[in-house]
Amino acid sequence: MSVTYQDICQAHERIKPFIHRTPILTSRIINELVGAELYFKCENFQKGGAFKARGAFNAVHSLSQDQLTKGLVTHSSGNHAAALALACASRKAKATVVMPSNSPTPKKLAVAGYGATIVECEPTLAAREATANKILDETQGTFLHPYDNDQVIAGQGTAAKEMIEDGPAFDIVMCPVGGGGLLAGTAISVKELLPHAKVIAAEPLGADDAKRSFDAGHIIPQVQAKTIADGLLTSVGERNFAIMQDKVDEVLTVKEENIIKAMRLIWQHMKVVIEPSSAVPLACLLEHKLDLSGKKVGIILTGGNVDLEKLPW
Give dist(CA 108, CA 232) in Å, integer.
17
Q: Domains for the chain: give ranges and CATH numbers.
A: 5-50+149-301 (3.40.50.1100), 53-143 (3.40.50.1100)
Task: Say if CB 231 and CB 79 are below 8 A apart.
Answer: yes
More confident residue, 299 or 104: 299
Task: Say if CB 122 and CB 100 are below 8 A apart.
Answer: yes
Q: Rounded to 5 degrees, what are φ and ψ at 275?
A: -90, 165
pLDDT, position 1: 62
Mean pLDDT of 288-302: 94
pLDDT, tens digit (0-9, with 9 covering 90-100), for 120-178: 999 887 898 899 999 999 999 999 999 999 999 999 999 999 999 999 999 999 999 99
Q: Which of 89-98, 101-110, 220-229 is least confident?
A: 101-110
Give dist(CA 195, CA 189) in Å, integer.
9
pLDDT, position 225: 86
Average per-residue pLDDT in the chain? 94
Q: What percent of the chain has pLDDT over 90?
A: 82
Contacts of 34 (CB under 8 A, 6+ apart): 282, 285, 286, 288, 292
Buried b (16+ CB within 10 A) or exposed e, 43-57: bbbbbbbbbbbbbbb
pTM for the complete prediction?
A: 0.94
pLDDT, position 15: 98
Closest CA to 296 of 200, 182, 167: 167
| Other Cβ atoms closer than 10 A to 166 | 14
pLDDT, tens digit (0-9, with 9 covering 90-100), for 171-216: 999 999 999 999 999 999 999 999 999 999 999 999 999 999 999 9
What are the distances in angstroms from CA 237 to CA 114, 146, 232, 251, 268? Answer: 27, 10, 12, 15, 34
Task: Say if CB 132 and CB 73 are below 8 A apart.
Answer: yes
Give dist(CA 226, CA 23) in Å, integer.
31
Task: Say if CB 74 and CB 147 are below 8 A apart.
Answer: no
